Amino acid sequence: MKADYKNWMPKGMVTGTGCGTIASLVLFLILGVSPIVPEGSAKKVIGIVLLILTVIFCASTIWMYLMYRAFSYNGKRQMSKQIIEGVASYVSIPDGGKGLDVGCGSGALTIACAKKNPGASFTGIDRWGKEYASFSKKLCESNSEAEGVSNTSFMQGDACKLPFEDETFDAVTSNYVYHNIPSSDRQAILLETLRTLKKGGTFVIHDIMSKVKYGDMQAFVQKLKNMGYDDVKLIDTTSGMFMNKWESTWMGLSGSAILLGRK
């Protein structure tokens, strides 16, 4: 049995845009080129609209396919695996401790942290929405079993309102989650995650922390320091750590960074 962490670019999205490309191209040939529709201004307008739609669908399909290849655990680039292992490398919990992974998806980061800290237990929480229909609690549990990991558990929940008491965990992690949550204040979501962290606990949160998505993160780092958090830093992951600047640009991952520190 082999773990199946799926792909951060769902195959269904790639297939869907590919089908959209074919459908719009067929309609363009039928309605905008063939003699079925009489010549005239209406035919020209329809043809132009369908041609533009075809180009958009085609470009989207190519972009998604390249993303799918880069993220694949079985491919050459394996960016997902590199990121997961890189984030997990910062997590160290004493035996008997507890960790939380917010937005666990297919369980990859939860399991990586559990393997690195066999004496601790890790909980992965996710809402497993329709956007990532291939991800589920059952998949996470199957992947844990495939990896021979028994110190994990998984549950459904909301990152904006975590079902845990204050200071429950010795470490909290997350990877590329919060930017997907519609919110005008993602810094508040970060604080909700940090609420569950014990004094002395570690947080390692990787996301697209650009100003447009998160606001002024340098100011947030200072805010955490003023609140008593230690060793708080923002580590750029787009300058060779997980990807280079060119990759982060064409993939739409510019601003990716790890928020790291202790409570």
Per-residue pLDDT reduced to its tens digit, 103-133 = 999 999 999 999 999 999 999 999 997 777 7
* CB contact at 8 A, 143 and 106: yes
Amino acid 130: pLDDT: 76
Amino acid 41: pLDDT: 87
Tokens of 238: 């787009």
DSSP structure string for 205-242: EEEE--HHHHS-HHHHHHHHHHTT-EEEEEEE-TTTTS
Amino acid 38: pLDDT: 85
The structural domains of the chain, with segments of one domain joined by +, span: 11-71, 79-262
DSSP structure string for 80-98: HHHHHHHHHTT----TT-E
- Model confidence at 42, pLDDT cuts 50, 70, 90, reads confident
Tokens of 156: 């459904």
Percentage of the chain lying above the pLDDT 90 cut? 89
- Model confidence at 76, pLDDT cuts 50, 70, 90, reads very high
pTM of the shown model: 0.92
Tokens of 4: 């199946």
* CB contact at 8 A, 200 and 263: yes
The domain over range 79-262 is classified in CATH as 3.30.413.10 = no
Return the DSSP state at 180.
Answer: G
Whether the pLDDT of residue 40 is over 90: the answer is no
Amino acid 135: pLDDT: 92
Amino acid identity at 112 = A
Tokens of 112: 């990586």
Tokens of 115: 């393997």
Report the C-alpha gap between 216 and 221 in whole angstroms.
Answer: 9
Amino acid identity at 40 = G
Whether the pLDDT of residue 142 is over 90: the answer is yes
Report the C-alpha gap between 110 and 122 in whole angstroms.
Answer: 6
Tokens of 163: 């079902």
Displacement of CA 12 from its chain's centroid (Å): 16
Per-residue pLDDT reduced to its tens digit, 177-224 = 999 999 999 999 999 999 999 999 999 999 999 999 999 999 999 999
Q: Mean pLDDT across the stretch 53-64?
A: 97
